[in-house]
Amino acid sequence: MGYNRLNRLRHCKIIIDIVNAHYKAGYTTYAGVFRTFVEPFYPMHYNSFMKIINMPNIDRQIETEVARLTKPATNTQAGDPNQTELFKEDKTTV
């Protein structure tokens, strides 16, 4: 998924927080919370909503993705011996 995964996980976390704030077991339904609080701000299908609220360990997934993205790159091309010499300046022709 590339760089969009972190944004998607944060989006899911916001939706889960909305549901946790408004859902009362025995008094409300997920469909009611979805229609009243989630769908007006985050338009999506109800099946997508159910997949999001059933995501396991969303906080840990976000931490893992942040750690992956902030890790320094191990393969830099600055000292790569396979780098082409085509565009290097020739200082002898001055």
* Whole-number pLDDT of residue 90: 63
| Residue 71: band (very low, low, confident or very high) from pLDDT cuts 50, 70, 90 | confident
Which sequence spans correspond to the domains of the chain? 4-69
Sign of CA dihedral 40, 44, 49, 55: negative
Record the tokens describing residue 57, joined without a space. 């360990």
Task: Say if residue 85's pLDDT is above 70.
Answer: no
- When pLDDT is averaged across residues 48-60 and rounded to a whole number, the result is 94
Report the percentage of the chain scoring pLDDT > 70. 73
Query: Rounded distance, CA 12 to CA 57, Å?
Result: 11
Q: Is the pLDDT of residue 1 over 50?
A: no
Contact (CB, 8 A) for 15 and 53: yes
Question: Is the Cβ–Cβ distance between 42 and 19 less than 8 Å?
Answer: no
Rounded to two decimals, the pTM is 0.70
